[in-house]
Amino acid sequence: EAGVTQSPTHLIKTRGQQATLRCSPISGHTSVYWYQQALGLGLQFLLWYDEGEERNRGNFPPRFSGRQFPNYSSELNVNALELEDSALYLCASSHGRGNEQFFGPGTRLTVL
Amino acid sequence: KNQVEQSPQSLIILEGKNCTLQCNYTVSPFSNLRWYKQDTGRGPVSLTIMTFSENTKSNGRYTATLDADTKQSSLHITASQLSDSASYICVVKGGDYKLSFGAGTTVTVRA
């Protein structure tokens, strides 16, 4: 069974640009979570989607947004990129709310 | 505010030696506690999960303990191997399904 996949592996952008990150959950999982992990810091919760709806968001500005598609895959968009947005962005999926989250390999975003 | 604090922030051990990582939390109500292993540049992978009634749980050379009264957990690595070099993250789930993440302990195993 395939795990959570994310694309791209690496992404390099400049300040002010927009970044789009993608995530495909494990087959059968309806919940997708997005986390930011800046270098040397712990995981910070960004967004949670379930059944196509945004269920919760962390303490991040509105320029961090996303959506979940009918096939449960998800997209994270970061607008007006800032240098401090450079981080590893992790996606996780679970079978319903509150169950174990399985993480993808992450997308390394570098903002120059 | 629910918090999870891990110590030490980092440690270096020689191959074959044991080590213990600590996790203290203030999350309430408490649902469960997981220890994750995260290799550099990769996503975290669950090692153990412990609920309120469990005191000890093992996964190979990894043994987790939980004291729900003092809100402390530990992860013990026995006979460390080079592949144990990673960040170990303590994650506590509250009664509202919210997860609280520790900042992690970085373990470096040297030959």
Residue in A101, A112, A10 with CA at minimum distance from that of residue A49: A101
The DSSP symbol for B79 reads S
Q: Is the CB of B101 less than 8 angstroms away from the CB of A43?
A: yes
Q: Does B42 touch chain A (CB under 8 A)?
A: yes
DSSP string, chain A: ----EEE-SEEEE-TT--EEEEEEPPTT--EEEEEEE-TTS--EEEEEEETTEEEEE-S--TTEEEEE-TTS-EEEEE-S--GGG-EEEEEEEESSTTSPPEE---EEEEE-
Across B10-24, B41-55, B77-91, least confident range: B41-55
Q: How far is the CA of B17 from the CAs of A35, A75, B75, B78, in angstroms?
A: 33, 43, 14, 7
Q: Higher-confidence residue: B37 or A97?
A: B37
Which pLDDT score is estimated for B94?
Answer: 86
Residue B2 pLDDT level (bands cut at 50, 70, 90) = low
User: Chain A contact for B60, CB < 8 A?
Assistant: no
Q: How confident is the model at residue B95 (pLDDT cuts 50, 70, 90)?
A: confident
Mean pLDDT of B65-76: 96
Identify the CA nearest to A47 among candidates A25, A70, A31, A26: A31
Q: pLDDT class for A1, splitting at 50, 70, 90?
A: low
Query: What CA dihedral angle connects B64, A44, B97 and B10, to 10 degrees?
Result: 10
Mean pLDDT of chain A: 94
- Cβ contact (<8 Å) for A42 and B103? yes
pLDDT value of residue A42: 83
Q: Is B93 on the interface with A (CB under 8 A)?
A: yes
Q: Is the pLDDT higher at B100 or at B96?
A: B100
Interface test with B, best of A9, A37, A91 (most B CBs within 10 A): A37
Cα A64–chain centre separation: 10
* pLDDT given at position B1: 63
- Nearest Cβ partner of B43 from A42, A98, A105? A105
**How far apart are the C-alpha atoms of B60 and B58, rounded to whole Å?**
6
Is residue A41 scored above 90 in pLDDT?
A: no
A51-88 residue pLDDT tens: 999 998 999 999 999 999 999 999 999 999 999 999 99
How many pairs of residues across A and B have Cβ atoms under 8 Å apart? 39
